[in-house]
Structure 1
Amino acid sequence: MTVTETARHVSISTEGACVDFPIFDAKSRSLKKTVAGLVGGNIDSGAKVPIIEALKDITLHLEHGARVGLVGHNGAGKSTLLRLLSGIYEPTRGRAAINGRVAPVFDLGVGMDPEISGLENIMIRGLFLGMTRKQMESRVDDIADFTELGDFLRMPLRTYSTGMRVRLALGVVTSIDPEILLLDEGIGAVDAAFLEKSKKRLSELVERSGLLVFASHSDEFLRELCDTALWMEHGQIKQQGPLEDVLRAYKGAGG
């Protein structure tokens, strides 16, 4: 089967998908509000066990070639939606079907060990993102050059600053070959010059992926990488359509 034939089957489809989180031993209303603020959505206070409705009635069909931005305030449900689309969360009601190899990039630091070297972490992070050892071995030199970390790559990750960790993680992330790329922006800790360098690599990564869903607060990044968008609010899709239309409506509503 060719790459093109495989790409035709890359898709994400959900129908009326909901994600609920029961809160056991909720001692007070304020605790429920705190949890709701972390995952988004609404509280179903009528249930015997309080339920956070993190996502409600999510219906989507994304095919190969989709470049979708997620907008919405913190707690609107963007990160929860990415986890649903990756298969990390299963819908408690409705359905979700994912066809294709998923690279979920929600936290650039996930899959890294502070006690081992940067070079060793390159390998571990790549394997975590679904690459083979052989694929990562062929990419190590390119990733090392991109990070500009030099001899630090032989030192334990715990000796790195936040910006250095982001450089390392970005080097790995932008070297993979995903069919479905689910990206949650988290690259603000690097200097401006390196960020510009990263944008080119991110754009190339998106070109290689069959399908992109990208949660971001940066209109500039969204315009560079996406052509359509979803506006999330209280765990639901408020608007879906061309990127500029959704951004205009979201900003007009004070987003």
Structure 2
Amino acid sequence: MSTSSDLAPAGAPAEGAPEAGIAIECRGLGKAYQFYRRPIDQVKQVLFGGRKRYYDEYWALRDIGFSIRKGDAVGIVGRNGSGKSTLLQILCGITAPTVGSLTVKGRIAPVLALGAAFDYDLTGRENAYLSGAILGLRRAQVSERLDAIRDLCGLGDFFEQPVKLYSSGMGARLAFAICAHADGDVLIVDEALAVGDDAFRQRCQRIIRDFRARGTLLFVSHDLDQVVDLCDRVIWIDRGRMRADGETHAVVTDYCKALAEEPDDPNRFAFMT
């Protein structure tokens, strides 16, 4: 497994390096999790793992490969448990792939990762400064944008309260508002637009459309109308593998047909050895 966020030296591109203009490239990406049926099995794995495996293996992702060019707006669709969130976590650097390679060019503004990184004892305002620093902003830059962040998240007096008092939807609002003002090159949105009222969603959509003019968008949602509205291309993840990658309307049409005709099979959550 390898990951990279740096360009190769001029005149000496690394073997297999992505072509110019690529924002994200995955090659043979896979992620496996270890599950222990009994606590003692984890101890046995540490002590005797060289001779025998004491865990069940679940591959959340297998053989994921795609390239996203700078300026593209790409949607990711799939049933619950298909591997979408795992893929986003890898792209955001929350978890590492088990196999394969990932190259990301530019600064990522990940709504899902940022929300997970909040300090729950700090207020929304304080988390805006903390998260801004994580995303590469100076304190003065956050201060300049603080009013816009507060207005977009629409949390009112809760902006000055500890995040531990927030609902999950309120946390998503705050994360989106910060990422929207972070000067990222790649904006990764995971269901953030599913929270809040119509006015909030409309503001978010306007910001995303403005962002598309200058950056790369990766949008994950079960709301297919939003996917069609915002994305030019869609990647369909099914049972941890890529089932389709193509023009938005064509892929969404096939995906809807599969949802209607193919039963939801619980065996897709079975351990794979």
TM-score by length of 1: 0.78
Choose 137-146 or 155-164, whichever is displaced more: 155-164
Which of 30, 33, 48 is matched with 1:18 structurally? 30
Q: Is the 8 A contact 1:203 1:224 kept in 2?
A: no
- Residue-by-residue CA offset, 1:164-195 (whole Å, 9 max, x unaligned): 44443332122121112222113433122222
- Residue-by-residue CA offset, 1:68-118 (whole Å, 9 max, x unaligned): 100000100111111222343333222222222222222563233333332
Per the alignment, residue 141 of structure 2 pairs with 135
Q: Which amino acid aligns with 1:91?
A: P
Distance of 2:228 and 2:257 partners within structure 1? 17
% identity of equivalent residues? 34
Q: Which amino acid aligns with 2:25?
A: S
Distance of 1:61 and 1:238 partners within structure 2? 15
Q: 1:15 to 1:158 in 2, by over 3 A?
A: closer
| Residue 253 (str. 1) matches residue 258 (str. 2) | yes
- Residue-by-residue CA offset, 1:13-51 (whole Å, 9 max, x unaligned): 22222111122x324xxxxxxxxxxxxxxxxxxx76321
- Residue-by-residue CA offset, 1:134-192 (whole Å, 9 max, x unaligned): 32122112222334444443333345555544443332122121112222113433122
Per the alignment, residue 50 of structure 1 pairs with 56
Distance of 2:158 and 2:98 partners within structure 1? 45
Q: Is the 8 A contact 2:94 2:113 kept in 1?
A: no
Give the total of aligned pairs: 229
Distance of 1:108 and 1:220 partners within structure 2? 25
Per the alignment, residue 268 of structure 2 pairs with none
**How far has the Cα of 1:226 moved from its partner?**
0.9
Q: 1:140 to 1:10 in 2, by over 3 A?
A: farther
Q: Which ranges of structure 2 fall in alignment gaps of 5 or more residues?
A: 1-19, 39-52, 261-273
SS of the residue corresponding to residue 75 of structure 1 reads: coil
Choose 241-250 or 139-148, whichever is displaced more: 139-148
SS of the residue corresponding to residue 97 of structure 2 reads: coil
Choose 172-181 or 223-232, whichever is displaced more: 172-181
| Residue 103 (str. 1) matches residue 115 (str. 2) | no
- Residue-by-residue CA offset, 1:183-213 (whole Å, 9 max, x unaligned): 211343312222222221232234332x222
How well do the aligned residues superpose, as a CA RMSD in angstroms? Answer: 2.6
Per the alignment, residue 232 of structure 1 pairs with 237
Distance of 2:223 and 2:171 partners within structure 1? 21
SS of the residue corresponding to residue 190 of structure 1 reads: coil
Per the alignment, residue 179 of structure 2 pairs with 173
Distance of 1:26 and 1:60 partners within structure 2? 35
Which of 115, 118, 137 is matched with 1:112 structurally? 118
Distance of 1:164 and 1:82 partners within structure 2? 21
| Residue 221 (str. 1) matches residue 232 (str. 2) | no
Choose 56-65 or 240-249, whichever is displaced more: 56-65
SS of the residue corresponding to residue 253 of structure 1 reads: helix
SS of the residue corresponding to residue 243 of structure 2 reads: strand
Distance of 1:241 and 1:113 partners within structure 2? 39
SS of the residue corresponding to residue 148 of structure 2 reads: helix
Distance of 2:130 and 2:211 partners within structure 1? 19
Q: Which ranges of structure 1 fall in alignment gaps of 5 or more residues?
A: 1-7, 28-46
- Residue-by-residue CA offset, 1:233-252 (whole Å, 9 max, x unaligned): 01000011001110000001
**How far has the Cα of 1:64 moved from its partner?**
0.8
TM-score by length of 2: 0.74
Larger radius of gyration: 2
